[in-house]
Every structure is written in structure tokens, then in C-alpha cells.
Chain A
């Protein structure tokens, strides 16, 4: 495990930015990177990036061009590192940036996550084959494998998943940069076609293009950029072997989340996550992933999520609002961008800048991604200075 003293409160976020997420037909990856990075520059009051930024960490999984896409878009003559870690890619780029600062290598770093799946020419998930014995390689097919088992054991059903979808569609309507801005009803939910049982259209994240950026710096330098910097309390990425063949997997949770939560809470000094965390952005690639994550992050007991959902705990007005901007559900999931987009939302929430989706006075904000089969989980916890 990481040593908390070496990371907690050492690094601050002083600027965030994001492009509008969606089917950005008329934007190249570079265009989106510029939107996100320049918004973050402005947020941090950076006017001469070439002088004020020491290094760039970028995360993408679809890019054909690799690391130079970012350097070229921003015309930055700086060290650049490309990070790839499935759906945790954005969070991992952020982690690597943070690590470079705590290591004492750089003072101020730009983190950019982006992806452009809509250039592939397919609207649904890509069905890829890259192994001789490969099965349909759709994320829905992977993430749905917990459903039969979880439903059977805990008596949950699509009714419970519907509530998550309705909540996120609602929240997405309040976020200026989200893609889907449409309230849905239970009837809409059950009428929609099935993608991979039990996931239907409304259980699934949309497919979009997007980019998000953050400027991070040494905590002691933060106030030279902003009066209200946000501190990094913890950031971790945990990974493991493929759960589909893990003989000890019970298909009731995704192990990397619990693993990463333990590490992150240790770093941040959190002992009662439900009480201490004020707002969370979790990986709702599919509705059930969000449900399992409530439990795997310790927001409630294993098996009890449906009761807490029914009580409205995770709604905007609830005790622990989750996915205040509508999540992957309404922003879509341009893989490299997502983790950074969540950090963007949590920063706004902690600074009281989240407008009509503002949560009352959160002290700690958590963001979470899980991806692969799923095999990797990233968690970042931010707090007010």
C-alpha cells in the first residue's frame, strides 16, 4: 500500500476544463483537447503555459496518433507521457501527474484525458475480436455477468436498475456539458430494447467524444493560482487478473473496486466513507456497475443497495449524491476523458461552482472508474484546502 504521508494534501488542483461531450462530428481530438486545456488554463489563470507548465500527462485508448497528439494540439514543448489503463485511463493519467509532483520532479503539470470513439464509424459498441477463442467483446457483455448471480442472491431486479438510470438522466439535464439531456420514465426504461441482458438502452452509457483537463501543482504553490484550490487526498489505481477466470470470483462485486477503496481510504484517512464523503462520481458504464459500486465503496452493506436506492440516498437531494452531472450515462464514456471529467465535476462541487446541481457543502469528493473485464479500478479523493 502507498504511504499516505507522501501523498495526502501534497498536490492541489488549480484549474479544470472540459469540452462539450457528444457526437462531436466536426471536432478532431486536437480541437477537443484545446477546448479542455484552454478552459483549465483560464481557470488557473495561466497565461503562458509554455513557461508555467512543466510536464503533460495524457490518457487515451482510441488515439491513432499517440502521445504527440496532445503536444501537437497545444504546441507544448514539454515532456509528455501517454497513459492507458482501460476505463481507469483518465484517473491513471491524473495519478501519474500527481506522482510526478510528489516525487519532486515537477511543480505544475497538465493532465489531459480524451477519446474519440465516434470516428470509428459505428454507433453501438465495437464488437472486437482479438483472440482465437474470444467472445463478443462488448463491455455490456462483460459487466452484465454479475447480474444473474446478484439478482438471484439478493433479490434485486431491473426495477432497481431503472431508478439509477432515471436519476442519472435527471442529473444530466442539469449539466451544461453533458450529451443526453432528457428525463426518462420507468415506462421508457422498460420499453427500450435489450443490449446485453439485463442491460437495455437506458442501463448503458452513451457513446461520445470528449476531453477534460486539470492543472495540478505543489500544494504550497496552489494559492498563487487560485484562492480556493482543491487538495488531492488520495489517488490510486488497483488491478488484478481477469475476473472471468478467477476461481474465487463470486460475481457479486468487482474486486478491484474494494481493493482500490481500501487503498484510497487509507491514503485519505477515511474510516466512515458514507458519513465523510459528501459527493461521488462513480463509474456507471452500466446501471448495475453503479449499484455494485455503492456497496464495493462501502457506501452501504453488500446486498442492501436496492433499499438505499429506494430511500433516495444517492439522488441529488439525498444523503450521498452520486453522479451529480449525470455520469457516463449522459456524458458518455470517451474512455480517456471520463476520469478527468469526474475530477472536473468534483472540483466544481467542492468549490461551490456546480450551479443547479450543487450539493450542500461537501468536504470530500470521490471519483471512481472501473474497466477492462473489469480488471482495473481508479479512485481519486479530493477535499477542500
Chain B
């Protein structure tokens, strides 16, 4: 019965933007790139996928709180955690909260989860940190930012890592910000930001932590440090006298600065390679800084393999052009927008929450046929109102048929449209992470939560199919 992190998961969008394309140069194989949430992805969908991986094999009915940390949720007023909980099909009585406003929100949510579990008011808290920040096209920040998500389950038992100490400092400084109504993040002169903001604060938090637990940097097997860029990362590491082996690679030029998810994704990387007894130091920054000390337990060796950062990183495809990237992020609205925007009825949204967000279908009690969506009369035996609701999102489906649609507005047509069967239920479903030439009748797919389109200024979420990854898979998709 050890209290701590019981499981983890992560998500890195499959599409990578070669940084050369930003400057109008051709992309080179192996050149620097960043992960970008594509047009059907955002902080919510990435968090849901990381959450799915984190909860794999665990009983979702036991999750009693969801904390969602991000600076890039689509709504100013309306909660993301409740939407995420619905997509993850968590119990109705789940406690939900959003943590926002600072890149530190990811570790803050993690600390809040530990507080709740330690206090005994919750037994299993799912913590999600996810960001898809935008920088003005052509600005220096654009090449720096990347997108991704991390997830942790903090539990009162079965810990793979315990939290041994924590230390935080709050600070007011106008270094990096995004104001109301502005889609883009801005920053003050970077020398000021690093010299007066990041470097002194992160070292202050780490030194406070070391004092709190009576240890030295040398006691830690891994240092998972947030940094705004590669150079600051190196500076902070030098000041802390950390060795290269101790540092979790910050992944600039591969993943990019994932904002709120940065430090949490670093922690996932550290946990992926940790041995029992390994100490891990995590530090994050934003309007202050905070540091956490973890130690891996014996249980870490028994955790079923998770899809973490290392799993996702090699599964990539390069965006075809900078223009496609601009379209995917709606930075090129003139070419991208579809005619009228009808705006979807909120009451329909409401009625279909189970179908659309939780991907729940139903099983006929009379003939056992499974169908989607919920409907009154059985598709197979015509029995009426005699169904059991069943979750389909964690099952495997197969393609019944497909087409490649070149007219659906998307940055890089075609859209692969399928009829997918899952345990008998037929769903009209888009397929992602697959090339047309690999699209075959019978292809097994898993379900991924995506932003399917936008209407009336609001995002609409639904699921898509994605080929079941094979063990031999990590090549370009």
C-alpha cells in the first residue's frame, strides 16, 4: 500500500513540422523538427489519448478525480476536465478541475493530486497536462514550441514512484504571456527572461527542494528539467552541477517546448527508464518555479508497458508543407474555412454525450447485437428499448469499407473515410495515421479521440480510427 504515481502515459502528435520548412527551405531527413497538433488535435484530444494510455489495464470506475492542466483549452468559460472525463468514460461522480494560467500548472496539478490522495479525500486522481501553444507565424517562438501531453494516475496504493519532497516559489515577472483574445504567446527580450526569470527561479526551487529533503543533486538518477530552450537548459544544468547522464534529454529539435506538458513529459521519460530506488528530480517554471523529488519503487518493474514519450516519438510523419501546417492550425483562414458555419445545436451535443464523447454503443439484451449509436429499435432483431450501454472506445475495430475524400476541408487531402465494425457495431468513421495505400478492408483499428470539426466558433469532438500499432512499427507513418 504505497502512495504515489501508479501509472503514466503520454502523447506526442504524429505530425512533425521540419523546422526548415518554416524558413522556406526544403526539409532534410533527420533535421530538426517539432511535434504539431494537427487540425483534428488540440490540448483536449492529446490529453484524452495520454489518459487512455495511462489507464490501460486499470479499472476506470475507480478514478475519482481528474485534474487537467493546460494554457490552451478552447473555452474561456467551460471546463476541459469534465469533457476529458466524459471521453475517458469515467464515473459521473468524478471530481474535475482545470489548472491553467501558467506553464507550471502541470506540476501544480500533480502536487494537488498528491495533496488529495494524502489527505484521503481521493484514492485515484488522474492528472493530465497538455498544451498546443501557438506562436505568431514566422516568430522565433514558432520554431521553439511543440505539442504534447502527459498523464499520471496518483493513487493511494501500488505506487511505482513515491513523492519524497517538494518546494515551490511564486514570482511575478512579465516574461512570457498570452493575453485575452490573442491566439499567440509573446515574450520579453530572451536575455532578460533567462537571466532574471528562468535561471534564478529554477535553481532557487531546486535548492529549496534539496534543503527540504537533505540531499544533493548527485543523489538523483534523473533530472527532469523544464527549460524554455536548449541553451537555458544547458545553463541551468551547469549551475546545478548535473552530469549529462543525469539529464533527461529536453528534446528541442525533436518535440519542442510543450509548455504545461513539458516537465510532466520529462517525468514520463524519466519513469520509462527508471530502476527501483532511482531518485528523480522534476522542476518546472512559470510565474515562479517548483521542484519535486520522486523515488521509483519495486513496483515499477511490474508495471505493464505504457505508451509514453519514447513510444510516440519515433512514430512520426513529416508535414508536407509549411502551408499545410498553417491550415492545420487555422492560421490561414482564407483558404481553409468552409462556406457557412451552421453551428451545431447545443441540445444535440448534450443528448449525444455518451455516443460522441464516450463512444458508447449499446448491446441488445434480446439478440446480443452491439450497435452504435444508442437507438431505440434494434438494428438486428427489432426489439425495442432493451439495451445495455457498452463502451466501444477501448475495443478494436476493423474496416468494412473505405473511400478517400478529397473534398472534405483538411490541410492535406484526402480524408480517409471508413465504415468500421467493432464487435458488430458499424460506425461511419474517419481513419488517421494511415496512408491510402495501407488502407485495406479488414485493417484492425483502435479508437482515438479527436477534434472532428469546428462550428459556431466551438470545437466538436468525436473519435477516429487509427491502425493498431504493431511491435515492428516505429517507422514513418
Residues of A within 8 A of B (CB): 120-122, 124-136, 138, 140-141, 144-149, 152, 193-198, 241, 244-249, 251
A133 to chain B, nearest CB (A): 4
Asked if B407 and A140 sit within 8 Å, CB to CB, the answer is: yes
Some 13 contacts from A to B, beta carbons below 8 A apart, are A129-B344, A129-B453, A129-B455, A132-B344, A132-B460, A133-B356, A133-B373, A134-B452, A136-B407, A144-B403, A148-B401, A247-B421, A249-B426
A147 to chain B, nearest CB (A): 7
Asked if B419 and A244 sit within 8 Å, CB to CB, the answer is: yes
Q: Which residue of B lies closest to A248 (CB)?
A: B380
Asked if A245 and B426 sit within 8 Å, CB to CB, the answer is: yes
List B contacts of A120 (CB < 8 A).
339
List A contacts of B407 (CB < 8 A).
124-125, 127, 136, 138, 140-141, 195-196
Q: Number of residue pairs across A and B with beta carbons under 8 Å?
A: 127
List B contacts of A244 (CB < 8 A).
419, 426, 428
B462 to chain A, nearest CB (A): 4
Cα–Cα distance between A39 and B343 once the two chains are bound (Å): 42
B346 to chain A, nearest CB (A): 10
Asked if A247 and B419 sit within 8 Å, CB to CB, the answer is: no
B395 to chain A, nearest CB (A): 15
Task: Known A136-B415, A140-B405, A148-B401; judge A247-B426 contact (CB<8 A).
Answer: yes
Cα–Cα distance between A265 and B44 once the two chains are bound (Å): 55
List A contacts of B344 (CB < 8 A).
129-132
Asked if B400 and A149 sit within 8 Å, CB to CB, the answer is: yes
Asked if B371 and A247 sit within 8 Å, CB to CB, the answer is: yes
Determine which of B349, B400, B403, B428 lies in contact with A197 in the assembled complex, contact meaning CB atoms within 8 Å. Answer: B403
List B contacts of A198 (CB < 8 A).
403
Q: Which 3 A-B pairs have the closest CB atoms?
A: A136-B408, A144-B403, A133-B462
Cα–Cα distance between A197 and B401 once the two chains are bound (Å): 12
Cα–Cα distance between A132 and B358 once the two chains are bound (Å): 13
Given A136-B407, A197-B406, A198-B403, 17 more pairs with CB closer than 8 A: A126-B339, A132-B348, A133-B452, A133-B460, A136-B405, A136-B417, A138-B405, A141-B403, A146-B401, A149-B441, A196-B414, A197-B403, A197-B404, A197-B414, A244-B428, A245-B425, A245-B427
Cα–Cα distance between A177 and B194 once the two chains are bound (Å): 74
Q: How many residues of B contact A (CB 8 A)?
A: 46
Task: Known A141-B417, A147-B403; judge A127-B379 contact (CB<8 A).
Answer: no
Asked if B441 and A152 sit within 8 Å, CB to CB, the answer is: yes
Q: What DSSP secondary structure best describes chain A's contact surface? A: loop
List A contacts of B426 (CB < 8 A).
244-247, 249
List A contacts of B352 (CB < 8 A).
131-133
Q: Does B226 contact A (CB under 8 A)?
A: no
A250 to chain B, nearest CB (A): 9
Most A CB within 10 A of own CB, among B355, B369, B403, B425: B403
Cα–Cα distance between A147 and B380 once the two chains are bound (Å): 25
Task: Known A244-B419, A247-B369; judge A196-B428 contact (CB<8 A).
Answer: no
Asked if B417 and A135 sit within 8 Å, CB to CB, the answer is: yes
Most A CB within 10 A of own CB, among B349, B369, B426: B426
List B contacts of A133 (CB < 8 A).
352, 355-356, 373, 452, 460, 462-463
Cα–Cα distance between A61 and B124 once the two chains are bound (Å): 53
Contact with A along B324-347 (1 / 0, CB 8 A): 000000000000001100101000
Cα–Cα distance between A140 and B349 once the two chains are bound (Å): 26
Cα–Cα distance between A128 and B373 once the two chains are bound (Å): 20
Q: Which residue of A lies closest to B380 (CB)?
A: A247
Task: Known A129-B344, A135-B417, A249-B426; judge A149-B401 contact (CB<8 A).
Answer: yes
Asked if A127 and B338 sit within 8 Å, CB to CB, the answer is: yes
Within 90-143 of B, Cβ neighbours of A (below 8 Å) are at none
Q: Which residue of A lies closest to B344 (CB)?
A: A132
A53 to chain B, nearest CB (A): 37
Most A CB within 10 A of own CB, among B406, B429, B436: B406
List A contacts of B380 (CB < 8 A).
247-248
Task: Known A130-B342, A247-B426; judge A196-B404 contact (CB<8 A).
Answer: yes
Q: Does B294 contact A (CB under 8 A)?
A: no
Q: Does B402 contact A (CB under 8 A)?
A: yes
Q: Which residue of A lies closest to B409 (CB)?
A: A127
List B contacts of A197 (CB < 8 A).
403-406, 414, 436
List A contacts of B462 (CB < 8 A).
132-133
List B contacts of A122 (CB < 8 A).
339
